[in-house]
Amino acid sequence: MKYYIAVASKDHVERGVQGGFMQANHGKATSLKRLKTGDKIIFYSPKRYFEKEEKCQCFTAIGEVKDEELYPGIMAEGFQPFRRNVKFYDAEEISIFPLIEQLDFITDKKKWGFSFRFGFLEISEKDFDIIKNKML
């Protein structure tokens, strides 16, 4: 089992939670192909809305990959992002700020946002548990 963080605006994460799916990196399949059934995933939302600048800077959802299916979703004409099915847990949104010093994947605590620059990253079980224990 592996542990990951996916980065997306809160409004996009909420659509996924409601639909029981996730997307990553603007619908590209590459990151999603790394996931296996049972892998755990946390969603970090730097912004509240995709097309607005309102900051969120919170972990907004948590769950586990349900199966091996990678499939195209339908969002808009000409845009079919790849998706994976996720079983989401009942969780509270939590700010990243109280956790920065505790999380090993954040190597530069002053430039902590840099850790999320690629939109999808594998983290340790320890880091996953730190975040999970605050969210659940």
What is the chain's pLDDT, residue by residue, as a tens digit (136 residues)? 999 999 999 999 999 999 999 999 888 999 999 999 999 999 999 999 988 889 999 999 999 999 999 999 877 677 789 999 999 999 999 999 999 999 999 999 999 999 999 999 999 999 999 999 999 9
What contacts 120, CB < 8 A, 6 or more positions away? Answer: 4, 5, 6, 7, 24, 25, 31
* CATH 3.10.590.10 at 3-135, yes or no: yes
Residue given tokens 């880091």 in the structure block: 127
pTM, entire model = 0.94
